[in-house]
Structure 1
């Protein structure tokens, strides 16, 4: 039986010598800066821990931005100039986002919209059958002359708000710019909606509503004791003088609660990477602990946390839908291009 062209080609391929194995290092250039970056990261961690112990936790936005910028710069030592250009552009976007947030949050009380005083309290009373959760928690757990273990847990959880989202952003930039972009789209959406609500719905927080000096008198007395547990552990916060000089704080930017929002946002973003179900459940207790801490401290109503979580969920749902739609559109375009190429290459 005569050999076909395919048989001949197969015999010729078998007679050819096997190609030499090519090592990865001969194709991919070695990274001589890797050791430098690792040493730099190690020194950074040591320096951060020293600062934390000696001067306290860095919590104001500018000092946090500087420390994170230093971390990312160390992670980019030896990288191509194109990566540095992307870094500068992304840092500028990050700074613009936070500046817009702080300016909007700081100016919300000057926009002239009606101040929400009784509405959030009434919603909480409806949700808890006539009980004020802030007052109930302090009556059952707060002791003016004693600091319990849960005071320490609540205080540490409260102050984690100032570092965890920024740490996540910095780590994602160094590890995967694509994931950083996904994080930023959702995060910026959350901040945009929150800032809009700060302007449209300036809201009196529970501690202010209970303060006799403020004149609202709609809640029983509440102690504002966010830092007690933190200080009892020998820790203190480092708030740079810039924070006071810029005067960006606004006590009535309380609806929604960004403490509660961020506490859900960061775990939710990384949740798909966690495989054990028990570990996922454990991670999701963190936003619950944050919400309970905020209510216990009198910083927020329960409804503030619920609205914040709703915005987080809406942001994830929207961008998840949008990214799936973009993937389908790109796949359809690629398939159409491939089909056209095959049709043009097929002889008539």
Structure 2
């Protein structure tokens, strides 16, 4: 589906090439330098950035944490990730098609459905009126942390998988890409506005503010608001990819986490993201529920394709063995 290799080798540099003491010193120094640079970038507002910025930091991190491997492994990092980067860049570019193909922007329809589900009330309006009537409460930075994880956690998981298991990385990235493109098709065919935009355009009578807590208090409100404005998409509310990515991360990591106390935050992660999005005016509840549904569809579709590919590979291997035996018998 993505042409990703499922082989995984972790070849360390030999002692002759790189003395053990020197190798350890270089490894520790490079890793700490990367982490310090990463923290500095967050504090100064350089992260998060656009897609290329995110990818650059991910690839740099992978190389930094595997610096003592042969240079061929570092080249392979770039070769493995470049096709994925290209696909994601195409995704970012084609999101704007929803504005150009002429499909009507859905605002009133989502408001009607949401009010029907909740007996005339809008959860976003209710939450903001009861929890943020006097401004942003003290726990707004916590909301900001949850919101910001969308730009960090899915890609951090990908980077960790790549370092320790390329087959796991390949499986995970297939699901990320299929999920993204399923959502993209929906954005193009059914462009839908988020609650804060619907309120601004008059589709919602009540005021809906954009309360994300983005910036975590470390980035000025002007910087964080500008970043949200640049990265935001007025037609990509349905489904919620923020929710979908959180659910996919939880589903992916769940079988790998053995201790129950680690599974608790993992289980709460999608619900925390859903609350953040609805409370913050970014999504309707219906968007969130469809995010869950799209993850389920993605997992089923990709699993079927992987089973089909594995079956074809088994048949090919079997035919090769039979042919080899036939040739051997003939000789």
Contact 1:138 1:296 in 2 (8 A): yes
Instruction: Report the counterpart of residue 132 of structure 1 in structure 2.
Output: 122
Instruction: Report the counterpart of residue 261 of structure 1 in structure 2.
Output: 244
Mapped to 2, the partners of 1:163 and 1:228 lie a distance apart of 13
Mapped to 1, the partners of 2:40 and 2:65 lie a distance apart of 20
Give the CA deviation at 1:244. Answer: 10
Which range moves more in the overlay, 174-183 or 271-280?
271-280
1:114 is paired with a residue whose SS is coil
Higher Cα Rg: structure 1 or 2?
A: 1
Instruction: Report the counterpart of residue 172 of structure 1 in structure 2.
Output: 161
Cα 1:343–1:335 shift into 2, 3 Å:
same
Contact 2:59 2:77 in 1 (8 A): no
Instruction: Report the counterpart of residue 9 of structure 2 in structure 1.
Output: none
The aligned runs of 1:185-196 (5 Å cut-off) are 185-196=174-185
Q: How many residues align?
A: 311
Mapped to 1, the partners of 2:192 and 2:87 lie a distance apart of 23
The aligned runs of 1:266-305 (5 Å cut-off) are 266-277=249-260, 279-305=262-288
Give the CA deviation at 1:49. Answer: 2.1
The aligned runs of 1:146-157 (5 Å cut-off) are 146-149=136-139, 151-157=140-146
Which range moves more in the overlay, 262-271 or 329-338?
329-338
Mapped to 2, the partners of 1:68 and 1:229 lie a distance apart of 20
Mapped to 1, the partners of 2:82 and 2:256 lie a distance apart of 29
Contact 1:194 1:256 in 2 (8 A): yes
Give the CA deviation at 1:57. Answer: 6.5
Give the CA deviation at 1:133. Answer: 0.8
Contact 2:141 2:216 in 1 (8 A): yes
1:223-277, Cα deviation, whole Å (9 max, x unpaired): 222237822xx4558969x9799x6643222111121111112222111101245
Cα 1:305–1:109 shift into 2, 3 Å:
same
Cα 1:336–1:101 shift into 2, 3 Å:
closer
Q: Does 1:200 align with 2:183?
A: no
1:197-228, Cα deviation, whole Å (9 max, x unpaired): 111111111111112xx2x3434111222237
Mapped to 2, the partners of 1:77 and 1:194 lie a distance apart of 36
Contact 2:145 2:214 in 1 (8 A): no
Mapped to 2, the partners of 1:78 and 1:298 lie a distance apart of 46
Instruction: Report the counterpart of residue 209 of structure 2 in structure 1.
Output: 223
Q: Does 1:88 align with 2:88?
A: no
Contact 2:179 2:298 in 1 (8 A): yes
Q: Does 1:252 align with 2:235?
A: yes
Cα 1:276–1:317 shift into 2, 3 Å:
farther
Instruction: Report the counterpart of residue 6 of structure 1 in structure 2.
Output: none
Contact 1:44 1:71 in 2 (8 A): yes
Contact 2:193 2:235 in 1 (8 A): yes
Mapped to 2, the partners of 1:238 and 1:184 lie a distance apart of 34
Mapped to 1, the partners of 2:147 and 2:99 lie a distance apart of 24
Give the CA deviation at 1:129. Answer: 2.8
Contact 2:254 2:263 in 1 (8 A): yes
Instruction: Report the counterpart of residue 65 of structure 1 in structure 2.
Output: 55
Instruction: Report the counterpart of residue 45 of structure 1 in structure 2.
Output: 35
Instruction: Report the counterpart of residue 88 of structure 2 in structure 1.
Output: 98
Give the CA deviation at 1:339. Answer: 7.0
Instruction: Report the counterpart of residue 8 of structure 1 in structure 2.
Output: none
Mapped to 1, the partners of 2:222 and 2:324 lie a distance apart of 62
Contact 1:105 1:248 in 2 (8 A): no
Which range moves more in the overlay, 87-96 or 133-142?
87-96
Contact 1:206 1:298 in 2 (8 A): yes
Mark the runs of 5 or more structure 1 residues left unpaired by the alignment. 1-27
Give the CA deviation at 1:107. Answer: 3.5
Give the CA deviation at 1:307. Answer: 1.3
From 282, 289, 302, give the equivalent of 1:306.
289
The aligned runs of 1:106-121 (5 Å cut-off) are 106-121=96-111
Q: CA RMSD in A?
A: 3.2
